[in-house]
Amino acid sequence: MITSYLNAQKEINKYIVKNKTKKVFVLSGKNSYFKSGAKKFMHQILDKDNTLIYLKKSYFPELNELNKIISTINKFKPNLIIAIGGGSVIDYAKIANVLNRSNNIKKNIINSNFKDIKKNIKLIAIPTTAGSGAEVTPSAVIYINKIKYSVEDETIKPDFYFLIPELINNSSNKLKASAGFDAISQSLESIISLRSNSKSLDYAKQSLKYSLKHFIPFLKNPNFDNTSRMSIAANLSGCAISISKTTAPHALSYPFTSLFGISHGHAVSLTLEKFLKFNFEKMHLSKSKFSLKKRYEIIFKLTKTKNISDLLNYLKRMKKQAKLQDNFADLGIDLNRDYSKLISGVNLLRLKNNPILIKQDDLKSILFNQ
Ligand SMILES: [Fe+2]
């Protein structure tokens, strides 16, 4: 699953030669392109004259920049797109590559009208964070007027991906903590999601075996081994949620990102324990075909915890070690003032995958219980 730096370069070169690829469009982030080592990686293999590099500026994927990326692609007419960056970069590339022939991109996204979408150009994804698993998921996030939408279709999956640990070690600890926790939360949510099955359960369990062991060492003493394991964990969490989708912590996370600029994994971490507790306490109301109790037992076993309060403490400790702040007031969020704004941006589709039905009143009490 992991590819060495040199091997990935060789493979990309081989692809370019074999397919007589003339023009390559590279999409990356304005900081991450330099900091991750992506620039050096790409420069060693690409011919400058036939390459166009676009460095995205927005903090999270949003429509205006997507339109710019699409018009750049349409003018340049590449034969290959390489997305090298974090989840936002890969999501931009995934969406741009299927909607670049659309006459009304905004309308397509708002109405979830993807029945005619077609992938136009081959896409290679190279993540520079151990996080979302965007390189394997059939969905991508895009914000329009600070509201989160997703493009969901098998077509948008990248054609190839490379997990290269050397490109992942260089981001800030803040970013690594957020991205790593996203992978952990995705797998935990996947285990109890209504849409989970035995295959997604295997992916999620395997992902957590790596991430729970290597997340903190990856932050405190990063090395090739723990970076590789976190990369694989993120990828497996992507495989798990491709089947099961995510649940309530993800649904609630998007307004925290768009309204308060909190990075994705960090935003997810704000409510993970709250929903784990809610789902556990209301287990008898579960709508799942599987035994929710047994799924929690799997989580207890993976985290080596004995019961729900032990599990919640375990996650709280992990967040503290990773310096993921979860006090709303300290993050500039005043729930009394911001509650209705936050709730209006909640993704109801993702709430539907939660094993327990969540009503408006539940949401309020879950959020206000710090
Ligand atoms: Fe996520």
What does the alpha-carbon distance between residue 128 and residue 86 come to, in Å, rounded to a whole number?
A: 5
Tell me, yes or no, whether 141 and 199 share the same domain.
no
Tell me, yes or no, whether 79 and 226 share the same domain.
no
Q: What is the CATH number of the domain that holds 103?
A: 3.40.50.1970
Going from the Cα of 183 to the center of ligand 1, the distance in angstroms, rounded, reads 7
Going from the Cα of 252 to the center of ligand 1, the distance in angstroms, rounded, reads 11
Going from the Cα of 16 to the center of ligand 1, the distance in angstroms, rounded, reads 32
Is the confidence at residue 7, as pLDDT, over 90?
yes
Going from the Cα of 247 to the center of ligand 1, the distance in angstroms, rounded, reads 10
What does the alpha-carbon distance between residue 223 and residue 215 come to, in Å, rounded to a whole number?
A: 12
Tell me, yes or no, whether 87 and 186 share the same domain.
no
Going from the Cα of 201 to the center of ligand 1, the distance in angstroms, rounded, reads 17
pLDDT at 170: 87
Tell me, yes or no, whether 211 and 355 share the same domain.
yes
Going from the Cα of 119 to the center of ligand 1, the distance in angstroms, rounded, reads 23
Tell me, yes or no, whether 202 and 335 share the same domain.
yes
Percent share of the chain, pLDDT over 90: 89
**How many folded domains does the chain comprise?**
2
Q: What is the CATH number of the domain that holds 182?
A: 1.20.1090.10
Going from the Cα of 96 to the center of ligand 1, the distance in angstroms, rounded, reads 20
Q: Using 50, 70 and 90 to split pLDDT, how confident is the model at 346?
A: confident
Domain boundary among 115, 134, 166: 166
Tell me, yes or no, whether 134 and 227 share the same domain.
no
Tell me, yes or no, whether 358 and 250 share the same domain.
yes
Tell me, yes or no, whether 189 and 276 share the same domain.
yes
Average the pLDDT over 290-315 and give the result.
98
Helix intervals (H) in the chain: 5-18, 32-35, 38-43, 63-76, 87-99, 105-110, 173-192, 198-220, 224-244, 248-260, 264-269, 272-281, 292-303, 308-321, 335-344, 348-351, 360-368
Kindly report, residue by residue over 239-252, the tens digit of the pLDDT: 999 999 999 999 99
Tell me, yes or no, whether 130 and 87 share the same domain.
yes
Going from the Cα of 179 to the center of ligand 1, the distance in angstroms, rounded, reads 8
Average the pLDDT over 156-176 and give the result.
94
What does the alpha-carbon distance between residue 94 and residue 87 come to, in Å, rounded to a whole number?
A: 10
Tell me, yes or no, whether 222 and 78 share the same domain.
no
Give 319's contacts (C-beta < 8 A, 6+ positions apart): 181, 269, 326
pLDDT at 345: 76
Average the pLDDT over 202-209 and give the result.
98
Q: Say which amino acid occupies 102.
A: S
pLDDT at 141: 96
Buried b / exposed e along 143-166 (16+ C-beta atoms within 10 A): bbeeebbbbebeebbbeebbbbbb
User: What does pLDDT average to over the chain?
Assistant: 95
Tell me, yes or no, whether 181 and 160 share the same domain.
no
Name the residue with higher pLDDT: 348 or 337.
337
Parent domain of 299: 172-368
Going from the Cα of 134 to the center of ligand 1, the distance in angstroms, rounded, reads 9
Average the pLDDT over 296-317 and give the result.
98
